Structure 1
Amino acid sequence: MELAGRCAVVTGGGHGIGRALAEELTARGARVVVADLNVERAQKVAARVGGIAAACDVGSQDAVNDLVASAEDAFGPVAVFCSNAGFSDTGDGLQVSAEDLRRIVDVNLLSHVWAAQAVLPGMLDRGAGWLIQTISSAALITGPSFMGYTLTKHGALGFAEWVALNYGHRGIQVTCLCPNAVNTGMLGRNEDDEDDEHDGAAGRPDLSALGEVVEPEDCARQALDAAQTGRFLALPHPRVGDSFLRKATDYDAWLARTNQRLQRMRE
């Protein structure tokens, strides 16, 4: 995976893990297109890394196609596509409206499909390409996340496996980043602190109650290390892999334990 001078696209690149991926890709020599629904944040990150910004709603297939076309016009064929954008639903999943359910499916699941449809033909012609997908530990070990988030993350992992199985022998590397808690704006990190060498620790909320919380920079580094060494999973929280193994070993016991844990959390 030689990145020097090659085109990389990061969706949801204006903040959090996406911002860190854009910075890490740049540090490794890539030319980065920073895409985000919030174009002002994308522009801020793009200016920092010497890339270009693009407004993109990944819930729209046309928007994803336009993003890839713009990236290739600017920096040449897309060598790395980081499908990072996503969001979580809230509330009682069984009461979700059809409109809200379709939206989270489009953003968290189908955006991966649309990205692959847009970049894989060229990657296959060239015999190499990297798809890096930010999914979640929720794809491996269902926990307290909401229904729409859970089902779309499971689906995204299944799609990634399908691509790896069908195109791995043709030079396509798929890597899924599956973290648990990450210190991003969702947990109160001030995204505007990023200009100070990612310092900004002062004033951040106390996250100790969440257990192990990793930094987005760690996630980005581990995702690219995994991609460059041909690994499918990048697990910034090693205990996620341990839990996944216990789940596979005794599914019923895992369901019972997790059910009890969720009840205690809700109480």
Structure 2
Amino acid sequence: MGQYSREISKRIQHTRIKEGYCLICGKFGALSKDHVPPQGSIQITKVEQKHITELMGDESNSLKGVKAKNGSIFKTICSACNNEILGKNDSEISRVHKELTVLIRAHFEGPLVTPTMLSLDIDAIRYARAMIGHILAATSVSECRTEPVDAPYFKPLQEFVLGENDAIENTHDIYYWFYPHKKHLSAKMVGFHNEGNMTILSLLSFFPVAFLVTQKGKGTYPAHARRLKLTDRKMHLSLSMHNAKFVDFPFIELTGNSFYLLADQQCIVSYPVKE
């Protein structure tokens, strides 16, 4: 048994729960299964989950991930927040990502040369509300076992997801960029230090968009990222691979006076596997 426990991802310790405190509204009760990425935005397949820290080092390939037959699932929010709050906004993620996928396929596979900068309509509030909601949910069930306290970084995000449009206006910035991979990255909280600037950031990356939330005015982000304002009516996504080595930001090779701090159970990678 000891040998087996060392060979499977520690993620298995953070998935099993029936009831607890919802990580969006804070109420105690039965918890529901939230798909991250949301259903409709990607093709649902069998996946494995690992902590991002488990992909670092020589033993990463031999470690077994936690398997799920129907996509990456987190049981950390109540059914009301899942179905009524996120559910009504997930359709905007689905629409945007499906339209982007068609345009991206035409760019890389079509017979004609197409622009590397894509533009399409977006309801920025609905899109951001759903993405941030899934960021809050994509973590360990251990966070649901204790009564929540108001945290300066998370409280405005929770209020925004619950419907207060101006809640994050003075506390957070949002950035996005082209994410070309099949794997999905979720990071609820990472402390990132870069040449004297320290910020807290959160992330949800799945094809074709990486979505980053940082502290207001302190953002550290890839040079090719664009800021998303809640008043935006268009999303502009560059397909240029000039900065390809930074698409997995913040989990990138560090140089100079840079480092990041994280709790492994809050930073998870999901990747499709064959049946």
Provide TM-score, normalisation by structure 1.
0.30
Provide TM-score, normalisation by structure 2.
0.29
Higher strand proportion? 2
